[in-house]
Chain A
């Protein structure tokens, strides 16, 4: 963890314009402190995923600058993105394999990561035989083996059911508490954003831009009951109000 005050991630007046003239993002500035967990919410097509791809370096901005404090970057995709022909263990080892971590070391890291997400017992199974929630956990474990200082989440729990989603959220919170990475979570669920993060950044579309942010002062660890507290409700209302100030006809406010 870099605690020298350098932000883990800095986006400075970033813009993305596609060759056909579409403005995906316009003048987005976002600073993510080391060890800070921030969520980004916004309607579909507001450029949330584009923002994340910029942060990961998968996309170059057409305006502004993107800077990361560390190369130890973890990216959790919308889908588990596992290689179906590899066992769970070999999938978790892939990250180290691609970055040249010695075999013994990456095996140890994979064991450790699988233990942390509670999947040691299925290490030799093929991903196709696991449930959606388990596959997502394998994906998380693979990311953890890189010992990331910055974690980017692209609507990571969008493809699993409501109950699994809540559980994965709690798992994520635990990992965050233990590892202290900086996290940027893109989601379309206001409740999930408030529940997991210390700050919610609200975006609007056409062009994709930041319209405001809400600090979430609730202490960690957050227990599921916190969702029913007046403070939580007040925060989700604030976020929702900001979203409605954008384009009210295209908001998705998930429960």
Chain B
């Protein structure tokens, strides 16, 4: 029991110390470096909590925005995951499909998608669907790239084993390639989840219209000089991103317990 506690302490202490230092610097900046009449530039942490999360009306506004952004991000991520995996499977089946499609997947990654956001608004309006589209485009590439890598990296000897048993394409895909690629697919999904959150917030930031998500609030608050609310919204957006990333990390560990990267080391200090 004590040993478990000690280990927990060791795990949590370093980040807690960093958090304390950041808060101290924050307070120092807020009360010492900045004059009282310009304190709105950096409101003290407890003020942010009091105004942003303590006031029921403000909290409701923030949570409604968070809910909208979360819905956009999640819908976008699901669409990107399904589409990305389907594209990766297609590309893994034939080199010519890969040669035809992959350059465009790469292009998608390098085109500044935010520059396309006004175009989406122009075409599809400023509602839910164009926001989701922004998310999909931002989140698609990591899934395609990682899944394809995973599907292609199957041990050739295992392919030989399936060939010896005269396994067809579908059997090979379902019983060999997809399970073998699962760790890579989940890594892609994790990266994409983070990207989808960014897409939801930044897309919303650019849209400026329709129901407000976190992005619009982050745009509006500084213009109303509501700096406590701005800080609260930024904090909520960051926390949301971290939570999604963490969630997919846990999911990945659960689903790939068999993978060598997840196996317990035989003795403390053993090489991975």
Q: A: which residues have CB within 8 A of B? A: 56-58, 73, 75, 77-79, 81, 83-85, 94-95, 97-99, 126, 128-129
CB <8 Å contact, A56 and B164: yes
State the Cβ distance, B59 to closest chain A Cβ, in Å: 45
Q: Which residue of A lies closest to B263 (CB)?
A: A128
Return the contact of B157 from the options A57, A78, A94, A126 (Cβ within 8 A): A78
CB <8 Å contact, A83 and B176: yes
Known: A81-B158, A98-B171. A58 touches B165 (CB 8 A): no
CB <8 Å contact, A81 and B161: yes
Q: Cα distance A94–B182 when bound, in Å?
A: 19
Name B144-197 residues within 8 Å CB distance of A. 155, 157-158, 160-167, 171, 175-176, 179-180, 182
B259 within 8 A of A: yes
CB <8 Å contact, B161 and A77: yes
Q: Which of B160, B162, B171 has the most CB of A within 10 A?
A: B160
The SS class assigned to the B binding surface is helix
Q: B: which residues have CB within 8 A of A? A: 155, 157-158, 160-167, 171, 175-176, 179-180, 182, 256, 258-260, 263
CB <8 Å contact, B161 and A85: no
Return the contact of B162 from the options A57, A73, A78, A98 (Cβ within 8 A): A98
Return the contact of B179 from the options A57, A83, A95, A126 (Cβ within 8 A): A83
Known: A77-B157, A81-B157. A98 touches B260 (CB 8 A): no
Contacts of B176 in A (CB 8 A): 83
CB <8 Å contact, A128 and B258: yes
Counting from the closest, the 4 A-B pairs by CB-CB distance are: A98-B165, A85-B258, A81-B157, A84-B258
Contacts of B263 in A (CB 8 A): 128-129
State the Cβ distance, A241 to closest chain B Cβ, in Å: 34
Contacts of B259 in A (CB 8 A): 84-85
Would you give 20 A-B contacts (Cβ < 8 Å), ordered by A? A57-B164, A73-B164, A77-B157, A77-B161, A81-B155, A81-B158, A81-B161, A83-B176, A83-B180, A84-B258, A85-B256, A85-B258, A94-B175, A97-B175, A98-B165, A98-B171, A98-B175, A126-B258, A128-B260, A129-B263
Q: How many residue pairs bridge A and B at CB < 8 Å?
A: 50
Q: Which residue of A lies closest to B163 (CB)?
A: A58
CB <8 Å contact, A99 and B165: yes
CB <8 Å contact, A98 and B258: no
Q: Cα distance A99–B151 when bound, in Å?
A: 23
Q: Cα distance A78–B165 when bound, in Å?
A: 18
Contacts of B163 in A (CB 8 A): 58
CB <8 Å contact, B165 and A95: yes
Contacts of A77 in B (CB 8 A): 157, 160-161
Q: Cα distance A58–B162 when bound, in Å?
A: 11
Q: Cα distance A135–B171 when bound, in Å?
A: 24
Q: Cα distance A94–B179 when bound, in Å?
A: 14
Q: Which of A73, A84, A95 has the most CB of B within 10 A?
A: A84
Q: Which residue of B lies closest to A77 (CB)?
A: B157
CB <8 Å contact, A84 and B160: no
CB <8 Å contact, B260 and A84: yes
Contacts of B158 in A (CB 8 A): 81, 83
Contacts of A56 in B (CB 8 A): 164
Contacts of B167 in A (CB 8 A): 98
Q: Cα distance A78–B175 when bound, in Å?
A: 22
CB <8 Å contact, B179 and A85: yes
Q: Cα distance A95–B161 when bound, in Å?
A: 9
Q: Which residue of A lies closest to B168 (CB)?
A: A98
Contacts of B165 in A (CB 8 A): 95, 98-99
Q: Which residue of B lies closest to A56 (CB)?
A: B164
Q: Cα distance A75–B165 when bound, in Å?
A: 10
Q: Cα distance A134–B6 when bound, in Å?
A: 38
Contacts of B171 in A (CB 8 A): 98
Q: Cα distance A21–B163 when bound, in Å?
A: 26
Q: Cα distance A84–B260 when bound, in Å?
A: 9
Q: Which residue of B lies closest to A129 (CB)?
A: B263
State the Cβ distance, A236 to closest chain B Cβ, in Å: 30
Contacts of B157 in A (CB 8 A): 77-79, 81
Q: Which of B165, B176, B179 has the most CB of A within 10 A?
A: B165
State the Cβ distance, B261 to closest chain A Cβ, in Å: 11
Q: Cα distance A97–B168 when bound, in Å?
A: 13
CB <8 Å contact, B164 and A75: yes
State the Cβ distance, A138 to closest chain B Cβ, in Å: 13
14 further A-B pairs in the complex, CB-CB below 8 A; given A75-B161, A128-B258: A56-B164, A58-B160, A58-B164, A75-B160, A79-B157, A81-B158, A83-B158, A83-B175, A83-B176, A85-B258, A95-B165, A98-B167, A99-B166, A128-B263
Q: Which of B161, B171, B179 has the most CB of A within 10 A?
A: B161
